[in-house]
Amino acid sequence: MDGIPRWKTYLFVVIPMMRPVFITTLVIVASGIIKLYDLVVAQTSGGPGTASQVPAMYVYAYMFQAQNLGQGFAASTMMLLSVLIVLIPWAYLEFGGKKHG
């Protein structure tokens, strides 16, 4: 460890050791975002106006209240696609990118 800059210590030692902490934090934050829907509906019903609108409320409003299934399906597909854009490269690097042998 002698002679290497501090930023390399963080980049190659500290951050890789904290990978499980980062993954756990990501899962907890993601579940909190999903749980946020019922909290917003119970407190403000998405108001005033659209000030506390969350993506899940947008999808729910178009699919079930406005009876505009096309826009609701498109919004839910884009939410799923944004999750997959992050999840697939991470899964490839974590499980498929390493050569064992």
Positive or negative torsion for Cα 53, 59, 62, 67: negative
Query: Tens digits of per-residue pLDDT, 51-95?
Result: 777 888 888 888 888 788 888 888 888 888 888 888 888 778 777
Q: Are residues 37 and 7 located together in one domain of the fold?
A: yes
Residues 4 and 40 in one domain: yes
| Tally of structural domains, the chain | 2
Q: Are residues 29 and 69 in the same domain?
A: no
Q: Which domain holds residue 60?
A: 54-101
Distances from the Cα of 28 to the Cαs of 33, 34, 40, 87, in angstroms? 9, 10, 18, 15
pLDDT band for position 99 (cuts 50, 70, 90) = low
Average pLDDT of 6-12? Answer: 87
The closest alpha carbon to 34, from 93, 85, 80, belongs to 80
Q: Domain check: are 29 and 59 in the same one?
A: no
| pTM attached to this predicted model | 0.53
